[in-house]
Chain A
Amino acid sequence: MFSSIDALQNAFAEQRYIAERSLSTIIYLAQKMHKPLFLEGEAGVGKTEIAKTLATLMNAPLIRLQCYEGLDINTALYEWNYAAQLLHLRLLEASGASRETMQSSLFTRNFLHSRPLLQAVEQSAQGMPTVLLVDEIDRADEEFEAFLLELLSDFQVTIPELGTIKTDHPPIVVITSNRTREIHDALKRRCIYHWIDYPSFEKELAIVRARAPHVPDSLARQVTAFIGELRRMELFKAPGVAETIDWVTALIALDQTALSTDVIRDTAGVILKYQDDIEAVIAHDLLSAMLDRATAIADSV
């Protein structure tokens, strides 16, 4: 797949994902060692995007499981199509089928809905490259965590009526967490763990250039530097990279070519999502000073 870490880093860059060395190493190791990748970090730093990029690069379908509290086997693994089974049963009855036919034809693959986890196992069992994204696992409960643990250890699914589906080439698994609660060590231990931090100015600028190529360079620099300044302030929720990209796009839509205190006040809702934070930034006596500092950084680099 990827012959070296450099190759992986370049391939990601071609897909407009700027991955630093540490992250590239981790991804490389995950696919070499067939271990799941556990990515933790603040919202909007590009965790989910890694899985998407990986899928594109490997030309594999991305199978995504969005987690929530109470996620169970029926929605994560498989579910029988009961309505269809009942109808089928009625038809068999009407046609006077024997008991054996009834039993053997009711629980077949036709009546099985594969949910994301089973899909991933089935696809990789057929030898197809697969990327499985288990998104925001912190939203799920401990019961699901325990279940996932079992699946990740041997990638086999047993359906009592059909038998065991097993794969020798486990899919690439990416698990993300926003850390709204701590995930149990047992799960983390089976994965390669990586904390994604907010990027440096240079890296973020590269990301903005890659993701919003139509934005004038001076604006991109200024916006990136200003976001960096915001993250230094103590905010309840600092803006992520996704917000930076949104913001430059928004500014372009408003035909702005440079930041000013008025523009910041008008568009604060794009980058800050808590009223307290917006008030703190807008009412900040030093807003213009912050902007000056950001402009200076943008010009100097």
Chain B
Amino acid sequence: MSAEIDIAIESRGKLIENLLLFGRLCKLLGMHVTPTSMIEVAQALDHISLGHKADFYFTLRALMVHHKRDLPLFDKAFKVFWKTPGEKRPILNPPPPKEWNSKRKLQFLPPLDALPEQQLDPESEAKFIAIVPTHSTLEVLRHKNFSDMSPEELMAAKRLVSELSWSLGQRTTRRFTAGKGRTLDMRRAFRQNMRFAGEMLYRPTRTQKIKPRPFVILCDISGSMERYTRLLLHFMHTLASSIYQVESFVFSTQLMHITRQLRRTSIDAALREIGSTVNIWGSGTRTDAALHTFNYRWARRLLGRGAVVLLITDGWDRGNSDHLRQEMARLQRSCYRLIWLNPLLGDTNYAPLTQGAKAMLPYVDDFLPVHNLASLDMLARELTRVDWRRSQKNYSLSKTLS
């Protein structure tokens, strides 16, 4: 086997090196890539024409992806890594921070001379590009406000939203498993050292297990949010199907629990069911009442174990702002991190000056826009950074405002 690889390396120069780097990138991103699968990839490359980028892509994908959920991740990694030099480099979602430290980051930046240019003949490249939206149209779509999109663009955006991959913040639990850590694993230590007559030669340790945080989404579907609602529901559906533990709610004058409906695999079926059960579309907003219901009925059950709360609203509120302040304060106290997503924040002239927004702002940990695809990307990055320590309370914007 090793002789074969040697030959492969000799004949391909940098390709194998880059291939292995790519394998490690995929592994870092959380995919299950083994040395065996990389050897298989190297062998498989003998059988395809390297000039054909699409073939190359499918070969890698077939041999390196073993799970449906890894597909978008792989695509993204592939796009970034095997690009022609000079292309603008999109930013990848950073993987869970434990594995990603600054040293490694440098090491795994995509090499600039990743793929020898002469191996790509222009025709096949064009074919490949025709399959996916071109980078420039994508870029335009990414930065277009959801409310300005044409129906076709909305369709494309929805597709892109459902392709987004999410790796959420994680927390250290109090459960220990075998691994590098500080506490000695007595059970294993004793067993392993029996063969040395009890001399403590091996010192296996235990480490704290890491788990994804539970996640709660509260989405405003009142009249003022109407232009965003459909896309946001798509977004919620994607989150609900890709994250370990998500509870979803929509609210306007009341709060409604839609986790069960969103569990439907098909987004259309889910939306139909939500449409028929939820009867509060497009009415006014009483955020205080909705949050009150959440705090009193649900918070205790859902916000344990370091939950992250996503509150999606434009801050237009008809309710009592004193009550809203109280409920926001309680919500922030009972969750690990409260993130406010505001579609209006995309507008550069926007300032949170409405009664509701002023009341809410002091109690959120992060205040982020959610008006276009680029902002969703940003959110994805923000969510992976949620870890380890709580953000400084009172978002700095609120300080500058007051």
Contact = CB atoms under 8 A, between A and B. Distances in A.
B300 interface: yes
A85 B296 CA distance: 52
A236 B176 contact: no
A68 B174 contact: yes
Given A74-B187, A182-B301, A234-B296, A86 B198 contact: yes
A72 B190 contact: no
A86 B194 CA distance: 10
B104 interface: no
B173 A141 contact: yes
Given A70-B176, A234-B296, A236-B295, A93 B301 contact: no
A272 to B, nearest CB: 14
B321 interface: no
A143 B175 contact: yes
A180 B173 CA distance: 17
A143 B176 CA distance: 11
Interface in B281-309: 295-296, 300-302, 304-305
Main secondary structure of the interface of B (DSSP, over half): helix
Contact of A181 (B198, B209, B305): B305
A106 B194 CA distance: 10
A276 B326 CA distance: 9
A234 B293 CA distance: 10
Contacts of B330: 236, 276
Contacts of A82: 186-187, 189-190
Nearest to A160: B191
B197 interface: yes
A89 B326 CA distance: 63
Residue with the highest number of chain B CB atoms closer than 10 Å, among A68, A70, A102, A106? A70
Interface in B170-205: 173-176, 186-187, 189-190, 194, 197-198
Contact of A69 (B174, B186, B197, B301): B174
Interface string B142-185: 00000000000000000000000000000001111000000000
A80 interface: yes
A34 interface: no
A89 B175 contact: no
Contact of A85 (B175, B190, B300, B304): B190
Contacts of A102: 197
Contacts of A276: 326, 330
A70 B187 contact: no
Contacts of A21: none
Contacts of B300: 179-180
Contacts of A68: 174
B175 A181 contact: no
A102 B186 CA distance: 19
A182 B214 CA distance: 13
Contacts of A80: 187, 190
B189 to A, nearest CB: 8
A11 to B, nearest CB: 34
A284 interface: no
Contacts of B198: 85-86, 89-90, 93
A82 to B, nearest CB: 5
Interface string A161-188: 0000000000000000001111000000
Interface in B195-221: 197-198, 209
Nearest to A89: B198
A93 B197 contact: yes
A85 B198 CA distance: 9
Contact of B301 (A79, A90, A181, A234): A181
Interface string B346-390: 000000000000000000000000000000000000000000000
Nearest to A83: B186
Contacts of A74: 187
26 contacts: A69-B173, A69-B174, A70-B174, A72-B175, A72-B176, A74-B187, A79-B187, A80-B187, A80-B190, A82-B186, A82-B187, A82-B190, A90-B198, A93-B198, A102-B197, A141-B173, A141-B175, A180-B300, A180-B304, A181-B301, A181-B302, A181-B304, A181-B305, A182-B301, A236-B295, A276-B326
Interface of B: 173-176, 186-187, 189-190, 194, 197-198, 209, 295-296, 300-302, 304-305, 326, 330
Interface of A: 68-70, 72, 74, 79-80, 82, 85-86, 89-90, 93, 102, 106, 141, 143, 179-182, 234, 236, 276
Given A93-B198, A180-B300, 7 more contacts: A69-B305, A70-B173, A70-B174, A70-B176, A74-B187, A82-B190, A89-B197
Which 5 A-B pairs rank lowest in CB-CB distance, beginning with the nearest?
A70-B174, A70-B175, A89-B198, A69-B174, A82-B186
